[in-house]
Structure 1
Amino acid sequence: MSTDTPIAHRKTTPLPALIVLFLGLGLVSGIAIQNAEASQTMTSSQPVSKTLSAKQQSIPLIAAFMATSDMPKLSAALNQGLDAGLTVSEAREILVQLYAYVGFPRSLNALNELMTVVQARKQRGIQDAPGREPGRAIPTGEALLAAGTANQTRISGGPVKGPVFEFAPVINQFLQTHLFGDIFERDNLDWQSRELATVGALAATPGVESQLRSHMQASMRVGLSADQLKQVTELLAKHADEPTANRASAALTQALAASGG
């Protein structure tokens, strides 16, 4: 990656065009990603589970309906998640993170929907757990770039590189400092939940199949099992539309084949 333009502070904001590119994890055909330690679990020392918790099951649905701007189904999925123990902070963080994959307008609309849902639940006497804000300070400057690069490398299974990053080095700087730095350094949502959200959103988005496949692989690197990801495809088949479910199923099949699973 070029270092001609160092990141001097953390206020660098990616342009909307970055958001549309979905380049987060070597997400362009032809990007070479090393697979060393690809199966390493990085966010949890717990045994790999075969099933998603009730809370986890709501996350890809929330993400899918946010990506398609289906507000009635998003409302139902948010209610499902909150009923299952998703905190308001966790739900909010999911919707904030996904702006980097589906754009600011959908993120803002979804956050408005979450506010409406929480307020309606309060009026019915339901007090949802507020959750917490990030518990550690986000680094700035060169420390942010270093942290984001380390996070990107761990999630991707190796350094992310390829022709597109040689053609436009700044795109990787945005990814490393903002997506994998500013966002993934926020510890009020674990990496498994972040990947479940990303998989759900990308499955609902036509034309980003290579990115979806990469995130299926990343999901396994952060500790989600093949059985859990198969459950994601089944949830999407049951609650979302057929193309969304088909894209998720095909991506999982390809990811497992690539990893020898």
Structure 2
Amino acid sequence: MKKLIVTLVVALITFFGYNSLNAQNMKKEEVPQNISAFPIGEENVGFKQYFTGESWLARLTSNKDLNVPMSNVTFEPGCRNNWHSHTGGQILIAVGGVGYYQERGKASRRLLPGDVVEIAPNIEHWHGAAPDSWFSHLAIECNPQTNKNTWLERVSDQQYAEATKDNVATGLKATDSELDGIFGNFTKEVQEYGDLDTKTRLMVTLASNIASQAQAEYRITLESALNEGITPIEVKEILYQAVAYAGMAKVRDFIGLTNGILLARGVRLPLEGQSVVSSETRFDKGLELQKSIFGERIEQMHKNAPENQKHIQRYLSANCFGDYQTRSGLNVKTRELITFSILVSLGGCESQIKGHIQGNVNVGNNKDTLLAVVTQLLPYIGYPRTLNAIACLNEVIPEK
């Protein structure tokens, strides 16, 4: 039986080639162009009620004389089907991305291309994509004359999070277990330093991951953040804040990534707006917030700027602070910690780091808190940027 299946798969690969992605109901730029050798097909509307998140279905066989129904099913990140069973059993062959399979009452199994899952008749199970990866598998129906599906309850967010908690986007645990152990142990070690609560640790790490362009780490951190109760609005405000300090070129991909994960969790987009300014008030409210954080020296910055550079000071007040930092969704203390985390992670921003260290102190974040943030970020940004940040801390707030 296995020899027949492998032969069929090889034949299908030859037939379809590597130019066969043709999802008709999704924007071209959103479709992974090389997830596997098989077509994505069309949106899986017939089974949509049995899936959490979006999926696509491509029927691969049609010859009734062969009697081997085979389809390629593609899942967006975080998508999975409900618990279900087949009276005649099923065979899955992973062909692209990273996925998971789990039988009722057993540990989950991580799936990489080439993995084969043999599902016995009437075994309750689910399968789908990893939180941070698209996933495609071939689904082969066994005993098709009598095989019937029984669809059961959805896989809850808690069940899914538990099943995928050891997921690493790059397959680190499977391919580099020693490094995975070293890194994992150290991230736990730095969490023992300082008094940051779990929510703050996750929020500053999200901000740092954006600045570092660390999409894989961001996905992992975002799943943990949402599981810990950080709200979609708080996540979006971290992203929006990052636009002012890291630039849209660095942030746009993370907005799309975040939207995919939120949609997979059933969050309706767009979220409620958080802006509190208008085109008429953005400068005044931004300037007011600037002064409340940094004091009257802001007036001197406007006054002393050369004529050909005064527009930058206006932008800082109206755009950086007016458009972004006046927004609701995060309080001022949290926003200053987010900004500090972004600047530390970008590197080369020591002058701005020093200014925002003082800003953090002015809004109530003391040196112990800032040192705990830097320590939390150490595994993600490395020692040089960490030591630079600590040097800035010691210069602005000398040790007693």
2:378 to 208, 232, 237: 237
> In structure 2, what is the equivalent of residue 7 of structure 1?
none
**Any idea what the Cα deviations from partners look like across 1:107-147, whole Å, max 9, x if unmatched?**
11111121233244x28xxx79x98542x742432x33221
Q: Cα RMSD between the aligned structures?
A: 2.5
Q: Is 2:219 the partner of 1:75?
A: yes
**Any idea what the Cα deviations from partners look like across 1:140-169, whole Å, max 9, x if unmatched?**
32x332211111111113232345455411
Relative contact order higher in (CA < 8 Å, ≥ 6 apart): 1
Whether the 8 Å CA contact 2:282–2:323 is kept in 1: the answer is: yes
The amino acid of 1:104's aligned partner reads: M
- Distance of 1:137 and 1:63 partners within structure 2: 22
TM-score (norm 2): 0.47
Whether the 8 Å CA contact 1:145–1:176 is kept in 2: the answer is: yes
> In structure 1, what is the equivalent of residue 358 of structure 2?
217
Larger Rg: 2
The amino acid of 2:309's aligned partner reads: A
Whether the 8 Å CA contact 2:244–2:324 is kept in 1: the answer is: no
TM-score (norm 1): 0.70
> In structure 2, what is the equivalent of residue 154 of structure 1?
292
1:138 to 247, 253, 277: 277
1:118 to 238, 262, 266: 262
The amino acid of 1:140's aligned partner reads: S
Q: Which runs of 5+ in 1 are unaligned?
A: 1-49
**Any idea what the Cα deviations from partners look like across 1:178-197, whole Å, max 9, x if unmatched?**
11112122111111221121
> In structure 2, what is the equivalent of residue 246 of structure 1?
387
Distance of aligned partners of 1:98 and 1:165 in 2 relative to their CA distance in 1, 3 Å threshold = farther
**Corresponding residue pairs, total:** 203
Q: Which runs of 5+ in 2 are unaligned?
A: 1-193
> In structure 2, what is the equivalent of residue 43 of structure 1?
none
Q: What SS does the corresponding residue of 1:51 show, helix, strand or coil? A: coil
Q: Is 2:250 the partner of 1:109?
A: no
- Distance of 1:152 and 1:165 partners within structure 2: 20
Distance of aligned partners of 1:178 and 1:251 in 2 relative to their CA distance in 1, 3 Å threshold = same
Distance of aligned partners of 1:132 and 1:254 in 2 relative to their CA distance in 1, 3 Å threshold = farther
The amino acid of 1:176's aligned partner reads: S
Q: What SS does the corresponding residue of 1:229 show, helix, strand or coil? A: helix
Q: What SS does the corresponding residue of 2:206 show, helix, strand or coil? A: helix
Q: What SS does the corresponding residue of 2:213 show, helix, strand or coil? A: coil
- Distance of 2:307 and 2:284 partners within structure 1: 19
The percent of aligned pairs where both chains have the same amino acid is: 25
Which aligned pairs between 1:131-210 and structure 2 lie closer than 5 A?
133-134=273-274, 137-141=276-280, 143-160=281-298, 161-162=300-301, 163-164=304-305, 166-210=307-351
Whether the 8 Å CA contact 1:199–1:216 is kept in 2: the answer is: yes
Whether the 8 Å CA contact 2:344–2:353 is kept in 1: the answer is: yes
> In structure 2, what is the equivalent of residue 27 of structure 1?
none
Bigger proportion of residues as strand:
2
Distance of aligned partners of 1:213 and 1:173 in 2 relative to their CA distance in 1, 3 Å threshold = same
